[in-house]
Structure 1
Amino acid sequence: MHEQLRQDAKGAILFDATVSPQVDGAWFDVEHWRQQGALSTQPGGRGGVAVIRTPAGECVLRHYRRGGMVASLMGDRYLWTGADRTRSFREFRLLQAMARLQLPVPQVVAACYRRSGPYYRADLIMQRLPETQTLTQCVAQNRLDTELADEVGALVARFHRAAVWHADLNAHNVLVAPSGLYLVDFDRGRLRAPALSWRMANLQRLRRSLFKIGAAVQGETVFDQTIWTPLMHGYERTMSA
């Protein structure tokens, strides 16, 4: 990895020169890719993401947007507290750190922010993972069985062993592919001091997510026997390996 920074009066771009030796502002402009016929969209996140065909291959362009009640006031604006504290730069560097640890995450390509007074807006570009489905989609297709649940538990444990905290661990952010499982969307994630408390809170967040999308349609007892117990078995096996 070779991190490079380009700055101008309005903002900055951080990119990995080993993935693409040159990245400019047009890479973060959806209209630029649309005009080139190199744009498609897919569901996911707040309002979806754009899939762009770039010189670095097929990538995902994600614009940072707020959620919850604050979204009606702030929309896609964040308070400026310094370049290194922007959502995009922090996630870029966390993804780089996880890649160095050989954790299954997307290859990060570039991040940017654009300042406007006391606020900024931000974007992130990652290489697209091919042939993936979210765990949510697997549940809808009745593909979440004992074996897959075990693999999900092992996946989460790999990140916890590396002291990586995912701020929004849910079924939408677990991707299932022929090559294996991945975690995505590390906005607000960070490396933390090892502790049982945040690890268990992370797992409970995932459990609530699975309930919300209907994985426990046959009742909690069946869910625990067929999904959650195998998931925790995979988790504990990997944590103790």
Structure 2
Amino acid sequence: MDADGAILFDAEASPQVDDDWFAPDYWRERGALRSQPGGRGGVQLIATPVGECVLRHYRRGGLVAKLMGDRYLWRGADASRCVAEFRLLAEIARLGLPGPAPVAARYRRHGLFYRADLVTRRIADAQTLAECLAAGRLDAELAREVGALVARFHRAGIWHADLNAHNVLVTGTGLYLIDFDRGRLRAPAEGWRLANLRRLHRSLVKLSRPGHDIGVFEHDVWQPLLYGYERTFSA
């Protein structure tokens, strides 16, 4: 990796990846791009030679975004957001866990700062858990499956930095966790596992329908979710 920028890619997914892969205009000119809601500024769906993928440009959130925009402080290639997430996703795939398959990552350094992008394979025919909740589809059975999903990642020592209802995908064939920006491998410990679960709980409560009885939610959704989690984590 040189000082100005580099591309990291899975040679088994594609034998060649260049800067065009990270340029929305390149895909737009070929009729191979469409935007998708979600994330900071949204993501792009791109029809690549290896199938439909998701192109994400890393952007900051909160007040710091007004100052830094999409720039991050350079601390070395291995510490860059895109390289770290690419490698974590590769480890998730190696472990056989359901996450986005990494295709390519790129950083471009400019002095003390850098910008970054990531390409992953699209998980087809999926709804977020937030969408399922809004549609009234988050029942006890699905909640148990969500708990089991989170437990599988925790057993492997994988910490999700932003575990919320938007980052759980539900498909006809199973569930997935997505968006592992700032995630990392950690020694399994009760403290961070419970903090992760509390974050998911806050997200679900916040997204619940106005006037929804919190006691009903705890009984019908959260307790089954915890049951699925504990049963899987302890297996």
TM range (shorter): over 0.9
What's the RMSD between the two structures over aligned residues?
Answer: 1.1
Structure 1 stretches of 4+ moved >6 Å? none
SS in 2 for 1:41: strand
**Contact 1:215–1:223 (CA<8 Å) still a contact in 2?**
no
Determine if contact 1:133/1:176 at 8 Å carries over to the other structure.
Answer: yes
Q: Establish whether residue 103 from structure 1 lines up as the match of residue 118 from structure 2.
A: no
Corresponding residue number in structure 2 for 1:156: 150
Distance 2:208 2:159 in 1: 25
Query: CA 1:152 to 1:240, structure 2 compared with 1: closer, same or farther past 3 Å?
Result: same
Match 1:178 to one of 153, 172, 177: 172
In the superposition, the TM-score normalised over structure 1's length comes to 0.95
Q: Is 2:80 aligned against 1:86?
A: yes
Corresponding residue SS for 2:17: coil
Mapping of residues 20-169 of structure 1, within 5 Å: 20-169=14-163
Structure 2, gaps ≥5 residues long: none
Q: 1:49-103: CA deviations, max 9, x gaps?
A: 0000111110000000001110110010000010111000000000000111100
| More displaced stretch, 210-219 vs 160-169 | 210-219
2-structure distance, mates of 1:90, 1:217: 41
State the secondary structure of the residue aligned to 1:168: coil
Task: Give the corresponding residue for 1:12.
Answer: 6
**Structure-2 separation of matches of 1:21 and 1:215:** 47
Residue type of the partner of 2:98?
A: P
What CA distance in whole angstroms lies between the structure 2 residues aligned with 1:60 and 1:102? 20
The Cα of 1:106 is off from its aligned counterpart by 1.1
Structure-1 separation of matches of 2:30 and 2:205: 42
CA distance in 2, matches of 1:191, 1:219: 36
For residues 14 and 230 of structure 2, the distance between their equivalents in structure 1, rounded to whole angstroms, comes to 39
User: How far did residue 31 of structure 1 move?
Assistant: 0.5
Pairwise CA distance, 1:193:
1.2
Native 8 Å contact 1:216 1:223 kept in 2: no
Q: TM-score, normalised by structure 2?
A: 0.98
Kindly state the Cα deviation for residue 238 of structure 1 after the two structures are TM-superposed. Answer: 0.2
CA distance in 2 between partners of 1:217 and 1:133 (Å)? 24
What do residues 130-157 of structure 1 show as CA deviations (whole Å, max 9, x unaligned)?
A: 0000001101111000100000000000
C-alpha distance in 1, partners of 2:49/2:211? 45
SS across alignment from 2:28:
helix
Q: Percent identity?
A: 66
Q: Secondary structure at the match of 2:6?
A: strand
Task: For 1:72, give the aligned amino acid.
Answer: K
- How many residues align structurally? 235
How big is the shift at 1:216? 7.7
| SS of alignment partner, residue 53 of structure 2 | strand
1:219 to partner: Cα distance? 1.7
Amino acid at match of 1:233: Y
> How far apart, in 1, do the equivalents of 2:211 and 2:102 lie?
37
State yes or no: 1:225 paired with 2:219: yes
